[in-house]
């Protein structure tokens, strides 16, 4: 059962990393305009022609 | 006269010479709109950033001050092809956005914790060869995750429960908070005693499910509120203020102060209550009093916000309410009606009022029962607490909000915006519907009558010519035009009409004598207005009349089919109300009702035990809306009236009123079904818990099972009732 000593903290830290990523995306306003984000991907302003 | 705009009310200044403004934008519907608006604005010199939020149709613009001003930004958006109005987000909306974000954070934390604890719990449940030491280790790990999570993610419930207890009442959050807290304390104690069972998973999962419900409820309400606020901003009126130096400044109505001098042109709505200083005109006060005949006003007359100025320019002085005017009367009645309105207890709270004492008593009796049966104090307490955990009103707390979220979403799509959270429940109880006439059963403005009798090419010419006029009737006529571009060199003669030369002959639109047409043989019939038109030797008289909404009769008969009593209470003359009531098949109507008489009529019905739905739009309806059990107003209603209404419907049709009632009844049925499901779940689970047979596995399965069942049942509010009826 010694493997738990590595695996449990590993699983928890992965979960925490996910949580931190979500909270970061929430605080940086990525959920303020869900519909707009879906449409913005369609424009290709970033391409140089 | 030069005209400047003063929009400083809406502009917020940044630190380094930047200015910021939020605009509500109309007509945004596709991906290219985003690029057109943002790209078009960014090309302007001085614009730092422009970002369109597609979800709530708002545009945030930032520019460096000095290079541009707010009016230029709006003009630019309008040049790109969209109507935009500056927008001042209400304080309440900002608070709600913060609250939503907070709930989402709590939800995320609870979700993370639930997943990880479940991972540990499933191993404990299935690990038959697990040593007690490993099990203890897993339990302590669960505690490590669950305790901080409950402190963080449980706050919405703990705070609400605390508030209720301090106010001397019980709400659904009291048993929830108690259940979660006791489950955690019990689990920690059991873990310390190396016991086999701990309930960390149940406690955290409970929080997660409930937060899901809370968040969805809040998100739906926030969305409808944002749309309502945008609509309000887009129809917001501007006033023209005369400065002391004779300059004319265009400014939002919100910035007006008593004592300001205003110029109101023909075709403008009167922006504030005031008294006329100079000028004479006819005004249409149908939005104020429901009266459709126009009133002549001159120097010294009092006029009310919301009236439409028809014929001449007026200068008025804004007055503060000083008693005695109609508006004061309405305000006074409104205050009284709001004070008298009994606070309806929401279904969920009504249920929890019985539920919480019942649950707590059952738990206490369980403990006493086991003690009497000779169990140890520890065992008796553990069993009592598992009773509390299993009866934690998870399904019950989701049963009603989920239906409300789904039903209000469906209503939103069919054009009805709910202002009040419990409007659906109250709509379902209605047994009598009272309509105002003008602007509610009829369209808010007159429409062209017998348009078919006029040659199509003449109508088209007249309608295009009307685009160049400021007259309110011309604005109605202009809607008939297929080509929405005005003639380039049309000339408007104020008070008389518009003229333009087309293909060598002059076309004239306006008063009879302006077009050389003798006063019509029809004479001056009640409620009928006319515009004359002449072009190339041909003449026509266009008639305008207040018309019923096309589906009004169908809606009234639909309401009667639902078993509802339908009545009309109007401020208009009996001669105008009678024919409408006859056309709609409404037997009971009253005309020439003053606001206090409308209230009295509603109070009489309430005393007789009737639940009244009031549908109205005028300022004179506002107190009646507040006095009624539940109220709806059209989006064209006066602001003060809309603020009182529990729901607002959009568009030209009256159908949303009928749909609202149908959907509310369907929703109530679903709420009851859901409550029944929750009760069945508890009747099955409670005896098992009292018998002391509930393991954490059973608790977790029962809890998520009942929550899922209730949520799935709520989703039926979306499909069945509404889709079928909107198609019908």
Residue B520: its pLDDT value, please? 56
Residue B695: its pLDDT value, please? 80
Q: Do B35 and A18 touch (CB under 8 A)?
A: no
Whether the pLDDT of residue B726 is over 50: the answer is: no
Whether the pLDDT of residue B4 is over 80: the answer is: no
- Residue in B32, B53, B116 nearest the CB of A32: B53
Q: In the structure, what pLDDT confidence band is assigned to residue B343 with cuts at 50, 70 and 90?
A: low
Q: In the structure, what pLDDT confidence band is assigned to residue B345 with cuts at 50, 70 and 90?
A: low
pLDDT digits (tens, 9 = 90+) for B427-480: 988 999 999 888 888 888 788 877 677 788 888 888 888 888 877 788 888 877
- Domains, chain B, in order of start with CATH, read 1-88 (3.30.70.100), 94-226+345-404+665-727 (no CATH), 236-332 (2.70.150.10), 416-444+549-650 (3.40.50.1000), 447-545 (3.40.1110.10)
Residues B467, B648: contact at Cβ < 8 Å? no
Residues of A within 8 A of B50 (CB-CB) are: none
Whether the pLDDT of residue B727 is over 80: the answer is: no
From the list B721, B706, B547, B696, the residue with the least C-alpha distance to B120 is B696
Q: Which residue did the predictor score with more confidence, B496 or B193?
A: B193
Mean pLDDT confidence for B676-682: 84
Query: What is the residue-wise DSSP string for B473-538?
Result: HHHHHHTT-SS----TT-EEETTTEEEEEETTEEEEEESTGGGT-PPPTT-S-TTEEEEEEEETTE
From the list B199, B210, B202, B215, the residue with the least C-alpha distance to B173 is B210
Which residue in this structure is represented by tokens 């008796």?
B380
Residues B595, B624: contact at Cβ < 8 Å? yes
Minimum Cα–Cα distance from B32: chain A residue: A43
Whether the pLDDT of residue B722 is over 70: the answer is: no
Query: What is the residue-wise DSSP string for B635-678?
Result: TTS-HHHHHH-SEEE-SS-SHHHHHHHHHHHHHHHHHHHHHHHH
Please compute, for residue B209, the number of CA atoms within 13 A of its CA located in the half-sphere on the CB side.
29
Residue B340: its pLDDT value, please? 65
Q: Which residue did the predictor score with more confidence, A35 or B610?
A: B610
> B156-160, B306-310, B485-489, B717-721: lowest mean pLDDT where?
B717-721
pLDDT digits (tens, 9 = 90+) for B585-604: 888 888 888 888 888 899 89
Residue B2: its pLDDT value, please? 41
Residue B715: its pLDDT value, please? 81
pLDDT digits (tens, 9 = 90+) for B36-70: 888 888 888 888 888 888 888 888 888 888 888 88
B328 is catalytic: no
Residue B91: its pLDDT value, please? 67
Whether the pLDDT of residue B320 is over 70: the answer is: no
This complex has an ipTM of 0.86
From the list B680, B467, B434, the residue with the least C-alpha distance to B564 is B434
Give the span between the Cα atoms of B109 and B675, in whole angstroms.
29
- The active-site residue, picked from B173, B436, B617, B621, is B436
Please give the structure tokens belonging to residue B630: 């539940």
pLDDT digits (tens, 9 = 90+) for B382-416: 888 888 888 777 777 788 888 888 888 888 888 88
Residues B294, B281: contact at Cβ < 8 Å? no
Residue A40: its pLDDT value, please? 81
Whether the pLDDT of residue B517 is over 80: the answer is: no
B238-242 and B248-252 as β-strands: parallel, antiparallel, unpaired?
antiparallel
DSSP code at position B720? I
Chain B contact present for A9, CB below 8 A: no
Helix (H) or strand (E) holding B62: strand B58-64
Between chain A and chain B, the number of residue pairs with CB atoms below 8 A apart is 53
Whether the pLDDT of residue B292 is over 90: the answer is: no
pLDDT digits (tens, 9 = 90+) for B280-289: 888 888 777 7
Q: Do B119 and A11 touch (CB under 8 A)?
A: yes
């Amino acid at each position: 059962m010694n493997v738990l000593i590595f695996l449990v903290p590993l699983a928890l830290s992965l979960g925490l990393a996910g949580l931190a990523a979500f909270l970061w995306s929430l605080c940086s306003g990525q959920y303020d305009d869900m519909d707009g984000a879906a449409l913005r991907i369609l424009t290709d302003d970033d391409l140089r022609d | 006269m030069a005209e400047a705009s003063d929009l400083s009310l809406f502009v917020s200044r940044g630190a380094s010479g930047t200015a910021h403004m939020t605009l509500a934008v109309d007509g945004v519907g596709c991906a290219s709109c985003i690029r057109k608006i943002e790209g078009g604005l960014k090309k302007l010199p001085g614009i730092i950033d422009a970002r369109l939020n597609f979800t709530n149709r708002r545009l945030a613009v930032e520019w460096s001050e000095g290079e541009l001003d707010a009016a230029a930004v709006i003009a630019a958006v309008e040049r790109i092809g969209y109507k935009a109005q500056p927008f001042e987000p209400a304080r309440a909306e900002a608070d709600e956005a913060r609250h939503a974000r907070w709930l989402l954070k709590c939800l995320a934390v609870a979700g993370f914790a639930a997943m990880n604890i479940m991972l540990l719990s499933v191993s404990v449940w299935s690990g038959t060869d697990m040593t007690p030491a490993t099990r203890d280790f897993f339990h302590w790990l669960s505690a490590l995750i669950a305790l901080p999570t409950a402190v963080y993610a449980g706050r919405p419930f703990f705070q609400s429960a605390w508030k209720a207890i301090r106010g001397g009442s019980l709400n659904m959050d009291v048993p929830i908070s108690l259940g979660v807290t006791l489950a955690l304390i019990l689990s920690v104690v059991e873990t310390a005693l190396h016991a086999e069972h701990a309930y960390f998973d149940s406690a955290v999962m409970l929080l997660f499910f409930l937060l899901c419900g809370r968040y969805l409820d809040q998100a739906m309400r926030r969305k409808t509120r944002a749309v309502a606020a945008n609509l309000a901003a887009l129809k917001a009126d501007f006033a023209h203020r005369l400065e002391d130096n004779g300059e004319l400044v265009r400014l939002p109505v919100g910035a007006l102060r008593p004592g300001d001098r205003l110029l109101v042109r023909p075709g403008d709505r009167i922006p504030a209550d005031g008294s006329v200083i100079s000028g004479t005109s006819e005004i249409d006060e149908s939005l104020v009093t429901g009266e459709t005949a126009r009133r002549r006003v001159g120097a010294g007359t009092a006029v009310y916000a919301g009236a439409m100025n028809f014929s001449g320019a007026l200068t008025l002085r804004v007055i503060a309410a000083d008693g005695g005017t109609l508006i004061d009367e309405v305000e006074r009645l409104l205050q009284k009606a709001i004070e008298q309105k009994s606070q309806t207890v929401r279904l969920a709270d009504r249920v929890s009022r019985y539920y919480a004492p019942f649950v707590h008593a059952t738990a206490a009796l369980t403990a006493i029962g086991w003690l009497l049966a000779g169990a140890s104090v520890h065992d008796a307490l553990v069993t009592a607490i598992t009773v509390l955990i299993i009866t934690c009103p998870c399904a019950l707390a989701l049963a009603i909000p989920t239906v409300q979220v789904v039903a209000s979403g469906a209503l939103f799509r069919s054009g009805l915006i709910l202002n009040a959270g419990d409007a659906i429940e109250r709509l379902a109880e209605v047994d009598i519907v009272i309509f105002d006439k003008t602007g509610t059963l009829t369209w808010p403005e007159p429409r062209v009558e017998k348009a078919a009798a006029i040659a199509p090419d003449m109508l088209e010419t007249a309608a295009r010519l009307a685009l160049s006029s400021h007259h309110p009737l011309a604005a109605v006529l202009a809607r008939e035009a297929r080509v929405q571009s005005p003639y380039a060199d049309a000339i408007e003669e104020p008070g008389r009409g518009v003229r333009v030369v087309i293909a060598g002959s002059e076309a004239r639109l306006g008063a009879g004598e302006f077009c050389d047409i003798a006063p019509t043989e029809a004479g001056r019939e009640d409620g009928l207005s006319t515009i004359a038109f002449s072009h190339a030797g041909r003449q026509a008289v266009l008639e305008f009349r207040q018309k019923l909404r096309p589906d009004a009769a169908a809606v009234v008969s639909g309401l009667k089919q639902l078993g509802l009593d339908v009545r009309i209470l109007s401020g208009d003359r009996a001669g105008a109300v009678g024919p409408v009531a006859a056309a709609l098949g409404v037997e009971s109507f009253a005309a020439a009702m003053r606001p206090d008489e409308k209230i009295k009529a509603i109070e009489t019905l309430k005393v007789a035990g009737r639940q009244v739905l009031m549908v109205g739009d005028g300022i004179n309806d506002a107190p009646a809306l507040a006095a009624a059990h539940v109220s709806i107003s059209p989006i064209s209603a006066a602001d003060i009236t809309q603020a009182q209404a529990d729901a607002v419907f959009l568009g030209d049709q009256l159908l949303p009123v009928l749909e609202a009632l149908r959907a509310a009844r369907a929703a109530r049925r679903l709420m009851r079904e859901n409550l029944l499901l929750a009760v069945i779940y508890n009747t099955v689970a409670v005896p098992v818990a009292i018998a002391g047979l509930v393991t954490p596995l059973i608790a977790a399965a029962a809890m998520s099972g009942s929550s899922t069942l209730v949520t799935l049942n709520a989703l039926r509010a979306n499909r069945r009732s509404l889709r079928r009826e909107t198609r019908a």
